[in-house]
Structure 1
Amino acid sequence: MKIFVDGYLLNKEHQGTKTYIRELYKEFAKQNPEISIFIGCFKDLEIEKEFSEFKNIQFVYFKTSSRVLRMFFEIPKIISEYQFNYAHFQYVMPFKTTESCKYIVTIHDILFNDFKHYFSSLYRFKRNFLFKYSAKKADFLLSVSNYSKERIKEYYKIYNKDILITPNGVNEDYFLDYNKEESENYIKNKFGAKDYILYVSRIEPRKNQQGLLSAFLELDEKNKDVELVFIGVKSINNKEFDVVLEKLNAEQKKRIHILENISDKDLLWFYKGAKIFAYPTFAEGFGIPPLEAGALKIPVLSSNKTAMTDFNFFSPNLIDINNFDLFKKRLNDILDYKDESHLNKIQNMIQQRYSWKKSAEVLLYILRN
């Protein structure tokens, strides 16, 4: 049995969909050594190294830089020539298909329909056209949360097809013991940040970096030396965030760090060295970063919106992020958080609920049935 995976996102910046492809297929390869997995991407030695322990994973290197041309011509040709039994895509599948191949599509979210004010009309139109086509045409349709599953069913009128859930998980490295002081020193020496609040996510309006920055600027006097670290690329222009940044004085700017293109290794160090992790996003199809922080026993303050209603173990720090006064209060309170037993419970809950093994088993069920 041979499966093709469109892995072009492995060449992109850190994001949830990239994590999904990487971690799902590492786990799937480990569980099913008899199944051949071919990942389509652009040649990258770091990607090869990451998958090097799996003898059943090979790479098919793309030649076409344009995604449109790739989906219309190059990928259909690859699937036909290699005679794949299955092909797995994120969000969008090719218009030209091969009869002998079954097509799997994971649609992680369609937030642009419920939160139209964060996205342009053209953005929504293009994605709705492509996502709806793919949802209807796919032999197997997947999503990552009950929230996203229900929104896809409603908007695209998916009544005659099951939508299977392959939940995101947390890499086992995030559950290992570590030295807090060593982590803090590593980040301080390499990046100059200390005693910091961490937020990991792409920078765009719905992610609400502007809300966290505003709350940070109003921290109590006792927290005046705390710093703030944003890690993520700017994917959609966030004017509100830019406006708050422009008003910062020189002293405030020293306490704020905005970083892009951090390696996975350094990202793990950032999590370990954080004082707390904040995730005040307005809308998510899932939300991996707060789970990664919680797995490392970092205190987490998270929004309770959309798919994150499932993260009830973060209570009482799972809050309505629209209540700015509550947000400020919780941000101050959690900076003094010392309940080790509660953090242990959170770690255990995440380990039980969010394992890539479960998603790999769903994928195997599709292939076997």
Structure 2
Amino acid sequence: MAAKKIKLFVDAHSFDKEFQGAQTFIRELYNHLLAHRPDIDIYIGAHDTDNIRRLFPLLPPQNILPYKNRGINILRFVFDIPAYIKKYRFDFAHFQYVSPKKMAGCRYIVTMHDMLFNDFRKDFPILFSLTRNYLFGRSIKNADIKTTVSDYSKERICNYYQIPADEVHIIQNGVNNSLLQYQSSKKKAEDWVAEKFGIRNFILYTSRIEPRKNHLLLLQKYLKLKLYEKGISLVFIGKASIKTPGLAKLIKSLTPEQERFFRWIPRAEQADLAAFYRACRLFVYPSKAEGFGIPPLEAAICGTPVLCSSETAMKNFGFFAPYTFNPANHTDFEQKLLLAAQQPPGDAFTSQVARHVEQQYHWQKSSTIFYNLLQANFHCHETKNSDLRHEGHPELLWRV
């Protein structure tokens, strides 16, 4: 008799919004599980089902569950998701940050990527922090399986919500070399960006635009150092997520010459993003707070020189040293930006960093940890159910 498959539902609502790190986490983790773990029957819920079909090519079409468009996204927790859990009798349901009310028989997995809305409250709207503090806290405390993506985030979650450390499991983000499939060389990537966007010889920063991401600091130092006079452009890729008034004001004040060397691209297709990563002379990541920090690793895997913040979760990225900095030390950042922009690290250094990232941050390792968590919890639950059957209490087992 074939072993029972684990039925797992994934809330992929994050794919209905602007790009964020949670999308990479879900996409890479579940594509790896779909490819290598046939004993898991995966279902994914979202509004944009065409997008899910494109991003998860191995997912059976019948396993894509559409959310109804009710105008208020959180209503999926009230109507769509409970109905799907009841209909399909899922063993597990996986949520990012927020989960609905518990349903009997289905164990909830909650991945909380960071606590930045509490640790850096000045960088978030007050209502944003208050609502998330309550909803995220309730969800992670009540989860059957609690996960996060870094040592830093685990420490902050356990500290703030008083959760024992052994209850929170780290499923770290990974990177893969799929970004290298689009252009066969740095020269081809440079030509791609030049032909499509009219940009050459540039510094790159990819991230949603929020105060904590420090786009303002990077643009200020770029202008102060007059790198545009040296023919070096600055490119931001990412959608505005939280208002950053100082940045908007500075961009409006740019001179015609400065404007010519500055580009802000709200959204880029994967092939374009890959080209930008490989073509840039330097990738800079000045963020003062991250739950993990995927973009500098993506840049590194492409063989690109990286100048990276060393704060919060990025303290683990010591392999970028000496091209690291504390963004609170503006003088140090300015000096290192000038040095790295004029004399980027050579191929030997960037190749060494790329190898380290490839060995340390890969989805096979993360998906194995996640899979083992599922298996241990599933078999423990099945054993308890068997005990209940023998005790004559079938009404306690499932199934609502």
Q: TM-score, normalised by structure 2?
A: 0.88
2:220 aligned with 1:203, yes or no?
A: no
Q: Could you say what the CA RMSD is over the residues aligned between the two structures, in angstroms? A: 1.8
Deviation at 1:223, TM superposition (A): 5.9
8 Å CA contact 1:10, 1:18 repeated in 2: yes
Q: For residues 1-369 of structure 1, what are the structure 2 equivalents within 5 Å?
A: 1-54=6-59, 58-65=63-70, 66-95=72-101, 97-159=102-164, 162-174=167-179, 178-219=184-225, 224-335=230-341, 336-369=343-376
Give identity over the alignment, percent: 39
8 Å CA contact 1:64, 1:74 repeated in 2: no
In 2, distance between residues paired with 1:50 and 1:252?
38
What is the DSSP-based 3-state SS (H/G/I as helix, E as strand, rest coil) of the residue aligned with 2:78?
helix
Q: Give per-residue Cα distances to partners, 1:206-258, cap 9 Å, x unaligned.
A: 00000000111122669621001101111100012122212211110111101
Pair 315,57 (structure 1): closer, same or farther in 2 beyond 3 Å: farther
Q: Unpaired segments of 5 or more residues in structure 1?
A: none
Deviates more, 1:115-124 or 1:156-165: 156-165
Q: Give per-residue Cα distances to partners, 1:86-107, cap 9 Å, x unaligned.
A: 0000000002x22111100000
Pair 243,43 (structure 1): closer, same or farther in 2 beyond 3 Å: closer
In 2, distance between residues paired with 1:159 and 1:139?
13
In 1, distance between residues paired with 2:29 and 2:40?
14
What is the DSSP-based 3-state SS (H/G/I as helix, E as strand, rest coil) of the residue aligned with 2:79?
helix
Deviation at 1:10, TM superposition (A): 1.8
Pair 221,22 (structure 1): closer, same or farther in 2 beyond 3 Å: closer
Pair 198,4 (structure 1): closer, same or farther in 2 beyond 3 Å: same
**Paired residue type of 1:206:** R
In 1, distance between residues paired with 2:192 and 2:179?
17
In 2, distance between residues paired with 1:161 and 1:138?
14
**How many residues in Structure 1 have an aligned counterpart in Structure 2?**
368
Deviates more, 1:98-107 or 1:355-364: 355-364
In 2, distance between residues paired with 1:54 and 1:295?
27
Deviation at 1:34, TM superposition (A): 2.3
Pair 222,120 (structure 1): closer, same or farther in 2 beyond 3 Å: closer
Q: Give per-residue Cα distances to partners, 1:126-185, cap 9 Å, x unaligned.
A: 001001101111000000000000000011111286100000011231466831111111
Deviation at 1:11, TM superposition (A): 2.6
Q: Unpaired segments of 5 or more residues in structure 2?
A: 1-5, 377-400
What is the DSSP-based 3-state SS (H/G/I as helix, E as strand, rest coil) of the residue aligned with 2:204?
strand
Q: Give per-residue Cα distances to partners, 1:313-352, cap 9 Å, x unaligned.
A: 0000111112222212211211222421111110011011
In 2, distance between residues paired with 1:6 and 1:222?
44
**Paired residue type of 2:10:** V
Deviates more, 1:291-300 or 1:112-121: 112-121
Structure with larger Rg: 2
In 2, distance between residues paired with 1:338 and 1:121?
41
In 1, distance between residues paired with 2:44 and 2:185?
36
What is the DSSP-based 3-state SS (H/G/I as helix, E as strand, rest coil) of the residue aligned with 1:351?
helix
Deviation at 1:72, TM superposition (A): 1.7
Pair 265,57 (structure 1): closer, same or farther in 2 beyond 3 Å: farther
Deviation at 1:44, TM superposition (A): 3.9
Deviates more, 1:112-121 or 1:284-293: 112-121
Deviation at 1:54, TM superposition (A): 4.6
**Paired residue type of 1:217:** L
8 Å CA contact 2:47, 2:69 repeated in 1: no
Pair 309,57 (structure 1): closer, same or farther in 2 beyond 3 Å: farther
In 2, distance between residues paired with 1:46 and 1:52?
10
What is the DSSP-based 3-state SS (H/G/I as helix, E as strand, rest coil) of the residue aligned with 1:188?
helix
In 1, distance between residues paired with 2:159 and 2:316?
20
In 1, distance between residues paired with 2:227 and 2:356?
34
Q: TM-score, normalised by structure 1?
A: 0.95
